[in-house]
Structure 1
Amino acid sequence: MESKMKIKKMICATIIAASVSGLTGCIGQMGLTQLAMGVNLKAVDNRYGRAGIYVVAAPVYGVTALVDLMVINSIEFWTGTNPITKKGPAVADTPVEAWMKINDDLDPVLTGAPLKDLKVSTQSTSMEVLDDDSLKLTVAYVDGSEQSIIGKRLANNDVAFYNQGRLVAVANNQQLLDHVASL
């Protein structure tokens, strides 16, 4: 009975964490997914070979896209610069001829990246294959600190995401594939 409550609490915490993360600005450059795509492009010079690698690597794109949506793009949203591509302005701040114009009616503090003046500079990013079922994304900052997220394929082929050893989200293979297909 107690373990069922723990599972329910874990599911609830995961849903809340995913919802909060989703509300913090998922629109962005998808820098990590672009990085994975770059590896695909460099693997072979033939379009059919690249297409084959894309299909085989679809779960990798699912993982990178989820990390982009929940972590990297959120950093871009709040700071104004994508930590992977090092490009700004944030996609959310891209000037276009908008259908609804509300910025003129808002306090100027609400019209740009609130943490853009916070100097959080990344030194490097890396993706490491830990084993047949695990990938690790590490972001190293100029101040010497690092942050990592690990994606681990579970026995049922779901992917569990861990930050600092703590489970933060679980996605099934179909959710990852559906997301990749929507890109």
Structure 2
Amino acid sequence: MKITKIVLLSFSLTVLTGCMGQMGLTKDLNKWNMEVTKDRWGREGIFLGLHLLGVSPIAALVDLVGINAIEFWTGTNPYTGKSPAVVDMTAAELENAGVKNVAQAKIRFDGNDTVKMEIIYNDGHEEMISAIRKENTFDFYQDGNLIGTVTKEELVAYSQQRKS
């Protein structure tokens, strides 16, 4: 009986204080699913498989009960290494993702290979940023003008560098 009370108390303290957080493990699992295939049906099949096999629910549980609880108490997410904790940010900071001069940003996907982001700045200026995926490269456009081409490897390296 004593062990049961200790386990329940420990579980309750963790669950009641740390569920809100970055959900980094779950996000990375979803990101992996998006990288495995370009086909929307393939992605859906993998998504369902991960849920039916219990992989996604376990990742979410680890995020909710473990990682986010640590983020809540320490102010830094141990999985992503990012701070401040989500619970310490204002709603405006979450909406703008730390970008101060942007009033609104809308992202839309045109098929499987094109993503467009319409940015409206606080001063009213508007801008369209586009990325088009080709075989192993991505072309980036600003207001219809090509501003750069990068390889998938360069994007992965850049992403990993930003995480550290």
**TM-score, normalised by the number of residues in structure 2:** 0.49
Higher relative contact order (CA 8 A, sep 6+): 1
**Which of the two has higher C-alpha Rg?**
2
